[in-house]
């Protein structure tokens, strides 16, 4: 029982540590790039939530297979903590002030230009941008565009010292493709949960539970008798795959449902089919976990 509680504490501790690291990184990035330009998440709290939960879960699972305590109790505690942190945090995160408008499209270089009134100007073509030289009267503007619809030039008075304020700098400091894909997937999952929390509370609870159950299902892969390093690397990769699967369920499956089912049932199905698919996958992993009993296997050291 003591180990069960300790496993829960490890989960919470890692969650807090990773979340704090994320928030710190966001804080530094806001100092360097005022206005949160270039960030995929509008809110640092939203950006930190899912990675911190997954990091905490991985660490707690790793400890659990070695010191399971009462495994059913540990499992229930971890599930409850993951589920509650996920569900209770999202409404709170939405109340926090974002670093840029939450409904604004993530700023993709050379695609959107934020205007003074908060709206976004869709830019056409590539704008060549350079740093304005200090003190010289004529400068190459980073953000001047002609708004053809309103027949006006718009330009910002942004800080030229800000990192990534020029076109070449934006390209240079761009996320790596793998990092951008990972963040986009996190954003995809978070935005579905956030919208459900606001519009369909019941659905939101089921979605959150499906996500929780699926990631807890990764316990099954600890039944593979191997060394700690193999476990960690394998579970990290499986978490990435599971995240892709959740994104597929939340974003691609509704489109398939729309295409393949009658209109009368499509609206209902497109909401619940992802939950059913995730639950089926999570249930499979859950039963395999109980059958293989990874906590009873002697781990290699």
Partner 1 sequence: MSRLGQRFLAVFGLLVALAAGALLLFLLGQWLAPKLFGALPMWLPEDALAGAGYWFINEVLLWLPALAFSALLLTCSYQLKPGDLPRGENQALVRFAILAIVASVVFAASALLAQPWTAARLDDLAFRWNQTRQLEDEYLKLKALGPDKQTAADLDARMSLINRLGLLRPFQGQRSGQERMDYGFELAILKAHLDLDEFFRLRTVPGVSAQGDENTVTIDELLTRAESALADPTQDREYQANLWGVTAYRRLMNNADQGAPLDTKTLARAQAVVSLSWSRIYEKTLRADERLKASYFFRKGKSLGDFQFQNYLEAYYGFQELHREDPEDKEVTQHWELSRQKVAGQVLFSQEMDVLFAVPGSENLVFLNRESPPEVVRIGKLLNTSQGVFLKDFEFLRFDSAGRTLLHWTAPYGRWDEDGIDFRVWDKDEPRPQFPVVMAETPGNEFNPQASVDPPKFVPRVSVRELEVVNSNQPRPQTLGMWDLLVHGRGIEALGYNSRLFQTEFITRLGAPFGFFVAFLFVFVLAWSNRAHDSGRSWWLLVAVLPLVTEFVVQSCVWASRLAVGGALAVFGFETTTTALVIVFLAASVTGVVLVQRSFRKSMS
**Distance, CA of 99 to CA of 231 (rounded, Å):** 37
Q: Does 117 bind partner 1 (CB under 8 A)?
A: no
Name residues whose C-beta falls within 8 Å of residue 42's C-beta, 6 or more positions apart in sequence: 36, 98, 99, 100, 101, 102, 104, 106
Nearer to partner 1, 26 or 206 (CB): 26
| Region 231-260 residues binding partner 1, contact defined as CB under 8 A | 233-234, 236-237
Nearer to partner 1, 155 or 287 (CB): 155
Nearer to partner 1, 134 or 262 (CB): 134
Q: Does 130 bind partner 1 (CB under 8 A)?
A: yes
**Distance, CA of 56 to CA of 50 (rounded, Å):** 10
Match 């076109």 to its residue by tokens: 167
Nearer to partner 1, 229 or 263 (CB): 229
Segment holding 153, helix H or strand E: strand 152-154
* Piece of the chain touching partner 1 by CB under 8 A; list 23-31, 70-78, 98-106, 211-219: 23-31
**Distance, CA of 45 to CA of 227 (rounded, Å):** 34
**Separation of CA 242 from chain center:** 13
- Shortest Cβ 139–partner 1 spacing (Å): 5
Q: Does 268 bind partner 1 (CB under 8 A)?
A: no
Beta partners for residue 248, in sequence order:
none
Q: Within 13 A of 183's CA, how many CA atoms are on the CB side?
A: 19
Q: Is the distance from CB of 213 to CB of 283 less than 8 angstroms?
A: yes
Q: Which of 133, 199, 265, 280 binds partner 1 (CB under 8 A)?
A: 133
Q: Which of 118, 155, 256, 268 binds partner 1 (CB under 8 A)?
A: 155
* Piece of the chain touching partner 1 by CB under 8 A; list 2-10, 60-68, 72-80, 124-132: 124-132
| Region 190-229 residues binding partner 1, contact defined as CB under 8 A | 224-229
Beta partners for residue 121, in sequence order:
113
Q: Which residues bind partner 1 (CB under 8 A)?
A: 28-29, 31-32, 125-128, 130-141, 144-146, 152-153, 155, 160-164, 166-169, 171-173, 175-176, 178-179, 224-230, 233-234, 236-237, 300-301
């Amino acid at each position: 029982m003591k180990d069960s509680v300790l496993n829960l504490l490890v989960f919470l501790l890692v969650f807090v540590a990773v979340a704090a690291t994320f928030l710190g990184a966001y804080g530094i990035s806001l100092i360097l790039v005022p206005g949160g330009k270039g960030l995929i998440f509008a809110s640092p709290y939203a950006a930190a939530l899912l990675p911190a939960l997954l990091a905490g879960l991985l660490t707690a699972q790793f400890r659990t297979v070695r010191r399971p305590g009462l495994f059913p109790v540990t499992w229930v505690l971890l599930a409850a903590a993951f589920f509650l942190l996920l569900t209770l945090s999202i409404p709170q995160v939405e109340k926090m002030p974002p670093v840029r408008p939450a409904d604004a499209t993530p700023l993709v270089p050379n695609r959107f230009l934020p205007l003074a009134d908060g709206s976004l100007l869709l830019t056409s073509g590539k704008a060549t941008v350079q740093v304005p030289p200090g003190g010289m009267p004529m400068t190459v503007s980073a953000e001047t565009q002609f708004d053809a619809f309103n027949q006006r030039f718009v330009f910002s008075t942004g800080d030229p010292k800000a990192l990534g304020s020029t076109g070449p700098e934006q390209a240079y400091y761009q996320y790596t493709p793998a990092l951008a894909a990972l963040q986009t997937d996190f954003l995809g999952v978070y935005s579905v949960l956030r919208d459900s929390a606001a519009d369909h509370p019941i659905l939101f609870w089921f979605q959150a539970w499906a996500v929780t159950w699926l990631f807890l299902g990764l316990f099954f892969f600890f039944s593979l008798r191997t060394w700690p390093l193999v476990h960690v690397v394998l579970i990290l990769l499986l978490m990435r795959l599971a995240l892709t699967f959740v994104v597929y369920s939340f974003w691609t499956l509704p489109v398939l449902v729309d295409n393949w089912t009658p209109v009368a049932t499509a609206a209902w199905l497109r909401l619940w089919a992802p939950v059913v698919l995730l639950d089926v996958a999570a249930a499979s992993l859950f039963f395999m976990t109980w059958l293989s009993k990874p906590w009873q296997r002697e781990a290699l050291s």
